[in-house]
A and B are shown apart, each in its own frame.
Chain A
Amino acid sequence: MEAFLHQILSGLATGGIYAAIALSLVMIYQATHHINFAQGEMAMFSTYLAWMMIDAGLPYWVAFAGTVALSFVLGVLIERIVIRPVEHAPVLSVVIVFIALLVILNSLAGWIFSYTIKTFPSPFTWEGSQNGYLSPHELGTIGVTLLVLAALFLFFRFTSLGLAMRAAAQNPVSSRLAGIRVGWMLALGWGLAAAIGAIAGMMIAPVVYLDPNMMAGVMLYAFAAALLGGIDNPLGAVVGGFVVGVVENLAGAYVVGTELKLTVALALIIGVLVFRPTGLFGRRYVTRV
């Protein structure tokens, strides 16, 4: 029982990271109806930026804030430069551009920072919080995820910029008529997604260690989480993230063993897509002929 509880709790902790990345996927999906395959690699690259700053001697939280800000800018730039030209292109072109982005970021990271595995510090190391079930880092991860979700909720619910972004995503034409600069709203969405991804990357790096391919598995779970929660629903993505984290951990511990964990994600993704394509909280769309 003790072990079972421990599995669930540490599942929640990794779930927090999946939730954060799923959240950034949802950000982009809501704005543009694209699934960003490069999200994981963007997060990985941001984490390297953080590592670089910490390595240069900056205190953790300064590096943290710097990375989030820098990632935001990079996200905006990527949208403006790389994604904008294919905004109205067929899905295939868009997917290929995402794939190109994925490979470029991956190989750039390998090129600049080398493929050797690096350790990444965790900010949550205080004594006394050790309660036997969760390590301080796991606890911190869950906390950070919930904080990010709360901040996003407040931003979209109570600020006029948040309202404008929601409007631009829902009805671009009317929003443009109402004076909202839709293009910039999309770019902001990308920036936010990149910033959230950066946070997720810095949270997962102490666990999986830092290397250019660290996100491959994480990304798959985040996809599963986003789909499970409904790809257009931020709250759903977070719930999905935690559920996927727990399911992954339990399946790994009791059903299939650690070596087939990725297959669990594959089964989840296909299962959700086939049996409930809208996810748990998603909206259903109908196409007109």
Chain B
Amino acid sequence: MRMAGVIVTIAVLVALPFFISDYRTFQFTQAIVYAIVLLGLNLLTGYNGQISLGHGAFYAVGAYTAAILMEHFGVPYWATVPAAGLVCFGFGFLFGLPALRLHGHYLALATFALAVATPQVLKVKHLEAWTGGVQGIVIIKPDPPFGLPLSQDRWLYFFTLAVAMLLFLAAWNLVRGRAGRAMVALRDHPIAAEAMGVNGAMVKSTVFGISALYTGIGGALGAIAVQFVAPDSFGTFLSISFVVGIVVGGLATLSGAIWGALFIQFVPNVADQISKAAPWAIYGAVLLVFIYVAPGGVAYLLSRVWGKLRG
């Protein structure tokens, strides 16, 4: 039954761009990008219990890696995606090492500081030759290969979708195996997990790295889709919206990443029409509602409904 659900989802996602405009397609590309990021953040926060309020920083590193490789080294866009992932894995692993000693609130605090400091670091004068300073970098939208009869936006959608499916498969494999059990054990009872022979330090910093890798790949794909990177798109609120995404979608669920991504992509668009401040007020209210009423997020609610329907 779950297999059928997955197949239907994939079929819908593949067919989707042929029924909507290029602009809508672009929006859905962005949503898939967010889904990749949320997947990565959920591995870290949902499964491993390490709170990160600073994933916008890794998103930024991924985006900038892609942009700089394309702008200064003439690397083709598809090759920048794994590169951004690897660079972010390195950053994440290194950040994860000191973060190992931090629990709960303290880790949240350290990553929050990371999120607040990110735009400033990106604007630094010494790096301006590479990062373009406040102006940022403009990226050219890639053409579909092999003369495929697709618009640029649709091609990018399929490209992003393919990467996302690979990453979902990888995450699914990761969490249902030994490593996944070790991650969950470390979240629920670190001391007992270590006593059972789980190498806490190694697992936690690796998960941090993997999570950053997902986020970095998301950042690279996002940069290619938006065709632009600039410091102020990577502020605190980007990091916060990722947290909103995993809470809304459902902590420690894989499918939650999709619901969360749809939420953070489309709800602000709707709410923006009311007031500039409204999306964030809604984010805040929705966060509270989910934490109080449905801590499992949309994924959990759906599985409840499904269970009821089956009797």
Q: Which of B66-74, B138-146, B275-283 contacts A (4 or more CB under 8 A)?
A: B275-283
In the bound assembly, the distance between CA atoms of A110 and B237 in angstroms comes to: 14
- A265-B101 contact in complex given A97-B291, A104-B284, C-beta closer than 8 Å: no
Asked whether, in the complex, the Cβ of B277 is within 8 Å of the Cβ of A111, the reply is yes
**A93–B116 CB distance below 8 A:** no
When the two chains form their complex, are residues B120 and A262 in contact, meaning their CB atoms are under 8 A apart? yes
Binds B, one of A45-53, A161-169, A268-276: A268-276
- Is the CB–CB distance between B110 and A108 below 8 Å? no
Contact B284 A101 (CB under 8 A): yes
Q: Is A270 a contact partner of B105 (Cβ separation < 8 A)? A: no
Residue ID in chain B nearest A110 by CB atoms: B277
Q: Does B137 contact A (CB under 8 A)?
A: no
Contacting residues, chain B, for A122 (C-beta < 8 A): none
Interchain CB contact (< 8 A) of A100 among B104, B117, B277, B284: B284
Beta-carbon nearest neighbor of A36 in chain B: B105
Choose the segment among A61-69, A84-92, A170-178 that binds chain B (4+ C-beta atoms closer than 8 Å).
Answer: A84-92
A100 & B278 in contact (Cβ 8 Å cutoff): no
Q: Which listed segment binds B: A123-131, A215-223, A242-250?
A: A215-223
B residues near A71, Cβ cutoff 8 Å: none
Interface flags, B267-287, vs A, CB<8A=1, else 0: 000000001111111011101
Whether B19 sits at the interface, judged by CB under 8 Å, is no
* CB of A226, distance to nearest CB on chain B (Å): 9
Does A95 lie at the interface of the complex (its beta carbon under 8 Å from any beta carbon of B)? yes
Could you tell me the dominant secondary structure of chain B's interface residues?
helix
Q: Contact: B51 with A220, CB < 8 Å? A: no
Task: Choose among A86, A111, A260 the residue that contacts B120 (Cβ–Cβ < 8 A).
Answer: A260
User: Does B110 contact A270, Cβ atoms closer than 8 Å?
Assistant: yes
Check B123–A96 contact: CB distance below 8 A: no
Indicate if B288 sits at the interface (CB-CB under 8 A): yes
When distances are taken between beta carbons in the complex, the residues of chain B under 8 Å from A110 are 276-277, 280
Let me know if B292 and A107 touch, CB within 8 A: no
Q: How far is the CB of B40 from chain A (nearest CB, A)?
A: 16
Chain A proximity mask over B109-149: 1 for CB below 8 Å, otherwise 0 = 11011101100110111000000000000000000000000
Is the CB–CB distance between A111 and B105 below 8 Å?
no
A98 to chain B, nearest CB (A): 9
Residues of A within 8 A of B278 (CB): 107, 111
Q: Are A220 and B191 in contact (CB under 8 A)?
A: no
Find out whether the CB atom of A96 lies under 8 angstroms from the CB atom of B287.
Answer: yes
Interface: B295 (CB within 8 A): yes
How distant is A183 from chain B, measured CB to nearest CB, in Å?
A: 18
Task: Report whether B281 and A93 are in contact in the complex, using a CB–CB cutoff of 8 Å.
Answer: no
**A207 CA to B99 CA in the complex, in Å?**
34
With contact pairs A34-B105, A92-B49 given, residues A100 and B291 touching in the complex (Cβ less than 8 Å)? yes
Decide if A95 touches B108 in the complex (CB within 8 Å): yes
Task: Using known A-B contacts A99-B240, A103-B280, A289-B191, determine if residue A37 contacts B112 with beta carbons closer than 8 Å.
Answer: yes
Q: Which 10 A/B pairs are nearest by Cβ-Cβ distance?
A: A104-B284, A107-B280, A100-B287, A91-B104, A110-B277, A103-B284, A107-B277, A111-B277, A107-B281, A266-B117
List, sorted by A's number, 27 A–B pairs whose CB atoms are closer than 8 Å.
A35-B108, A37-B53, A91-B105, A95-B53, A97-B288, A100-B284, A100-B287, A103-B240, A103-B281, A103-B284, A104-B280, A107-B277, A110-B277, A111-B277, A115-B277, A216-B236, A220-B116, A227-B109, A259-B124, A266-B113, A266-B114, A269-B109, A269-B110, A273-B106, A277-B106, A287-B191, A289-B191
Instruction: Given contacts A102-B240, A220-B117, list 4 more A-B pairs with CB under 8 A.
Output: A95-B105, A96-B287, A108-B277, A263-B120
Binding site for B on A (CB under 8 A): 33-35, 37, 82, 85-86, 89, 91-97, 99-104, 106-108, 110-111, 115, 216-217, 219-220, 223-224, 227, 257, 259-263, 265-266, 269-270, 273-274, 277, 287, 289
* B→A interface (CB under 8 Å): 45, 49, 51, 53, 98, 101-106, 108-110, 112-114, 116-117, 120-121, 123-125, 191, 236-237, 240, 243, 247, 251, 275-281, 283-285, 287-288, 291-292, 295
